[in-house]
Amino acid sequence: MKGFSPSNLKYMRLFARTWPDRDAIGQQAAVQLPWGHLMHLLDKLDTAELRDWYAAAAVRHGWTRDVLRHQITTNFHEREAAASSNFTQALKRTDSELAQQITKDPYILDFLALDGDAQERELEQGLVDRIIDTLRELGAGFAFVGRQVHFDVDGDDFYADCSDSRIIPIAA
């Protein structure tokens, strides 16, 4: 074979050093990933444990290279393990995994560029601004209905928050 670039040869050598056991490599998640995923794992992660963890997660969840890049950048492995519990001891394995998935914090709102001290109102404003921008990109025929919808119940005022808002298409 010929025609490999110097960077590809560098990655091939690094790959061989990272996963040296040819017999075991077929059992590892890394062998199931495209070359672009592997190069990103080799570039962005320093430890074999993290590389193996992200490789297995990428295979399990079917991540694209961009999703893998985002998960590494946002330290998905830390968030995944953040919700410690006794689910593995108290439940069957499948139920334990489901309970763990349900209780972890799945929201990554980095795209809003808010710091950790943001107030609920700032979070709402950022989300609504993104919804409005998205609807503008979709073009005519869509509307955002329901930001802070007012309800009067027996003289008491209530307001539905963003989680109760709806995006509905407008009939043409």
pLDDT in tens, 83-110: 556 777 888 877 777 776 666 655 667 7
Structure tokens at 13: 């050598």
- Token pair 């309970």 is found at 99
Residue 3, phi-psi category: left (phi > 0), alpha (psi -120 to 50), beta (remainder): left
Reported confidence tier of residue 46, pLDDT bands at 50, 70, 90: confident
Domain ranges of the chain: 6-111, 114-169
Q: Is the pLDDT of residue 26 over 50?
A: no
pLDDT at 148: 72
Q: Is the pLDDT of residue 45 over 70?
A: yes
Q: Is the pLDDT of residue 53 over 70?
A: yes
pLDDT: which is higher, 171 or 149: 149
pLDDT in tens, 145-160: 667 777 778 888 777 6
> Of 77, 72, 70, which Cα lies nearest the Cα of 104?
77
Instruction: Measure the CA–CA gap between 131 and 52, rounded to whole angstroms.
Output: 36
pLDDT: which is higher, 125 or 165: 125
Q: Is the pLDDT of residue 22 over 70?
A: no
Q: What is the SS3 assignment for the chain?
A: CCCCCHHHHHHHHHHHHHCCCHHHHCCCHHHHCCHHHHHHHHHHCCCHHHHHHHHHHHHHHCCCHHHHHHHHHCCHHHHHHHCCCCHHHHCCHHHHHHHHHHHCCCCCCHHHCCCCCCCHHHHHHHHHHHHHHHHHHHCCCEEEECCCEEEEECCEEEEECHHHCEEEECCC
Q: Which residues pair with 143 in a beta bridge?
A: 168
User: Between vectors from CA 28 to CA 24 and to CA 32, what angle results, nearest 5°?
Assistant: 125
Q: Which residues pair with 149 in a beta bridge?
A: 160
Reported confidence tier of residue 77, pLDDT bands at 50, 70, 90: confident
Q: Is the pLDDT of residue 51 over 70?
A: yes
